[in-house]
Amino acid sequence: MIKIDVKAGAAAKQRDDAVVLPLLDGRKLTESGRAFQQATGKVLPDFLRKFDISGAFSTSRTLYHVEGTYTQRVMLIGAGDERKLTLHGLRRLAATAARKLDKGGARDVSFYLPELNVRGASLPDKVQAVAEGVWLGLYAFEKYQTEKEENKRALRSVTIMISSRRDLGSAEGALANARAVSTGTNFARDLANEPGNVCTPEFLGEQAAALKHGKLKVTVMDKKAIEKAGFTALLAVNQGSAKEPRFIVLEYQGGKKGTAPVALVGKGLTFDAGGISIKPAAQMDEMKFDMCGSAAVLGIFKAAIEMNLPVNLLGVIASTENLLGSAAYKPGDIVTSYKGLTIEVQNTDAEGRIILSDALAYAAEQKPAEIIDFATLTGACVIALGSQASGLIGTGKKLKKGLKESGDHTHDRVWELPLYEEYQDQIKSKIADIRNIGGREAGTITAACFLSRFVDDIPWAHLDIAGTAWNMKGTDISPVGATGAGVRLVVDYLSRKGKF
């Protein structure tokens, strides 16, 4: 990631390749813009009168070699109506400006975006949002492109400008948080963007083990250890694959000794063909993203380590492929889970909940304070919520409230669906304890009903990230591919834990 720092200073005195100034609706300048105008005479008023830039959100125009300044160029970027501006708006503006300057040959630039007013946001909030926008917006997964155009004048550094040196301490703290969160998010993106022939269960285990830290213990179980431990549901889904499964446990001790941890449980389907209930061929390549739940867990741990978060965390990841080998599990099979509950398999493509049953039961056995699971679980959630919010279902009232507030704060948003007892009837089985599908109606909810059988009475939140974990169109802060959904959300929740 490029270098970002923070300092105070006037725009007209910066010697960077570019200075980025916000422009509000109606061609209104902010404080730094007005000071810049005073230092440079009539340049800005003349430019704004003659050129088509109104201040509409995300529009921009660039001036070159403005007399009275030391910078090569000045970018005016539209911030729109300041009354409607949000922290995510700042992220989007920072990402847009960074990408344009990266392509335009500016190497070192200064951003004056934090001086914009965002209702309810502090200066550190704004600094963090701007830094996240730059780091997340510039992310690219180009590992396998052997013929790519080299940008010899790529963006090298960004300085986030604030109005007073007295605020440098808090701003630098916010910048450190942004770096950790962005590192964790981009790590999750990298893992998910890897092809299925690279990102295998073994590879996931290696990536977890590589997160070395004095406060972290990582255990990676191979197939023999999994058999010995009794994770039979995971083994059932793995039967059709030549690749061995992995069961990964991470223990981070950042809080007080003896304090119950927050358990983070991730679905790690490194490729999902659907098994015997095979998926359609179209877009099956995207099923490499079916391990985004596990990527989120590992991304959160990476961020927590960098931030030195004062919490205890337990991470549990069940990982396998779901393929069609001669030994593959079949519709009609009865699988006995780690907890002892029997599962009637009616659709082998509803495998995520099956492997999560072992992971959740193991996590619950460790007596955590609460459990959050992450899974690209149901197409029904994509139909219900699209790509704008992850589905939230669970039993922990305070936990759900905290996740909703963190979702609004980070724009890694969630929307709660009900878990009424009546939905449990849909997963009743006539020949086993439960069946792994509940019919066409309320598919996201009945999947959560299945998971609820394995968490005991521990406060629990299930995040269905099927619609948010990857985006094949791209967004302002995420290119095509994996988004890192869940990382910013839960890191914020853990950072603010106890405030809800």
| Separation CA 24–CA 80 (nearest Å) | 5
Tell me if 237 sits within 8 A of 280, measured CB to CB: no
Q: Of 91, 77, 89, 92, whose CA–CA distance to 18 is shortest?
A: 77
DSSP character for 428?
B
Any catalytic annotation for residue 288?
Answer: no
Tell me if 494 sits within 8 A of 311, measured CB to CB: yes
Name the active-site residue from 353, 413, 488, 497. Answer: 353
242 residue type, one letter: A
What is the number of other CB atoms lying within 10 angstroms of the CB of residue 152?
Answer: 7
| Separation CA 291–CA 294 (nearest Å) | 5
| Separation CA 115–CA 102 (nearest Å) | 23
Any catalytic annotation for residue 279?
Answer: yes
Name the active-site residue from 27, 99, 100, 279. Answer: 279
| Separation CA 216–CA 252 (nearest Å) | 4
Tell me if 101 sits within 8 A of 109, measured CB to CB: yes
| Separation CA 233–CA 204 (nearest Å) | 19
| Separation CA 380–CA 387 (nearest Å) | 12
The angle subtended at Cα 434 by Cα 429 and Cα 440, nearest 5°, is 75
What are the Cα distances from residue 466, in Å, to 81, 83, 275, 463? 33, 33, 19, 9
Q: What are the residue numbers of the active site?
A: 279, 353
